[in-house]
Amino acid sequence: MKVAVIGANGQLGTEIVKVFADETVIPLTQNDIEISDIGSVERAFANVRPDVVINTAAFLNVELCEKEREKAFLVNETGALNLVRVFERRKIPLLHISTDYVFDGAKRTPYEEIDVPNPLNVYGASKLAGERAIQANCSRYYIVRTSGLYGHAKCIGKGANFIEKILARSKEQSEVRVVNDEVLTPTYSLDLARQIRSLVMTGEYGLYHATNNGSCSWFEFAREVLRLAGSSTPVVPVSSKEYPSEVRRPAYSVLSNSRLATMGLDQMPLWRDSLAAYFA
């Protein structure tokens, strides 16, 4: 199998390149392709015809998306549309990464693929627009929504991940204050990369949720991070109201890997086990 990975040097892309190491991998970074420019997409794929393209590129900074709405939609919607315009003509399947932020958090039980999205912020709205552009214009696609990604490679769009920030704060402060009223499922990028490999091998196109299993608040996640790190710095739960933000975030964005489970393909570990594996 020949696999092209867009965003190959990012947090998730790095792991995808690794898990496909026994296949033919075409790693593409921002120096090779700018998805918001259809000419760049055309040039990047002028002389290659992969069996599947995995797109991890996106405008990920949630706060900046609010300030730069036009850029958010240019990358997250138009970028997705540019990919499918090029790939559909060449009959190349696309796997595209999306987000739990397409939901508003009102449900309070894990969101399934059949649930109706209702994003609260520009990032979520632009990613949902990208999903719909793919669904309307592409006959061979996988859309994979995930949540709370972390990994060993740097996230190019956001810098340090949540774990690194918590560890840094634990060394600088007498206590670490973390919100306890936003619930999600932190997801280890290596687990997601392995799940993506299993999925593309099936040829079963469509919309999927893929996160680690279980759920927690950011406070619970931070507490487990410091426990595994052997830190004695206390973690204090606080309300998100203590950290006013221009960005509205879903209070509950847990995803259910319903479709993967139905197919017998859900291989995502519990989030605590994955966090321990990350530290190991």
**Which of 255, 182, 266 shows the shortest CA–CA distance to 217?**
182
188 with 278: CB under 8 angstroms? yes
Question: Count of alpha carbons within 13 Å of 214, Cβ hemisphere only?
Answer: 15
Q: pLDDT, tens digit, for every residue of 168-204?
A: 999 988 899 999 999 999 999 999 999 999 999 999 9
Say how far apart CA 135 and CA 101 lie, in whole Å.
Answer: 18
- Could you tell me the two tokens for 19? 């898990």
Name the band, by pLDDT with cuts 50, 70 and 90, for residue 128: very high
In this prediction the pTM is 0.95
> What's the pLDDT at 241?
81
CATH number for position 94? 3.40.50.720
Q: Are 126 and 72 in contact (CB under 8 A)?
A: yes
Catalytic residues: 123
Lowest mean pLDDT among 94-98, 188-192, 228-232: 228-232
- Residue 159 is encoded by which pair of tokens? 């810098």
Q: How far apart are CA 1 and CA 52, in angstroms?
A: 8
Q: What is the mean pLDDT of residues 42-52?
A: 94
pLDDT at 154: 77
In this prediction, residue 244 carries a pLDDT of 76
Please count the residues of the chain: 280
157 pLDDT band, cuts 50/70/90, is: low
Please write the tens of the pLDDT for every residue from 261-275: 999 999 999 999 999
- pLDDT attached to residue 161: 87
Q: Would residue 32 count as lying in a domain? A: yes
Q: Is residue 219 part of a domain?
A: no
Handedness of CA 78, 80, 85, 86 (dihedral sign): positive
Q: What is the mean pLDDT of residues 53-67?
A: 95
| 111 lies in some domain | yes
pLDDT at 223: 95
Q: Which domain holds residue 43?
A: 2-153+187-212+254-269
Among 22-31, 87-96, 233-242, the least confident range: 233-242
**Residue 245, domain member (yes or no):** no
In a domain, 36, yes or no: yes
Query: What average pLDDT does the structure give for the chain?
Result: 94
How many domains does the structure of the chain reveal? Answer: 1
Higher pLDDT, 15 or 155: 15
53 is a domain residue: yes
Residue 236 lies in a domain: no
The band of 276, judged by pLDDT with boundaries at 50, 70 and 90, is very high
Answer yes or no: is 173 within a domain.
no
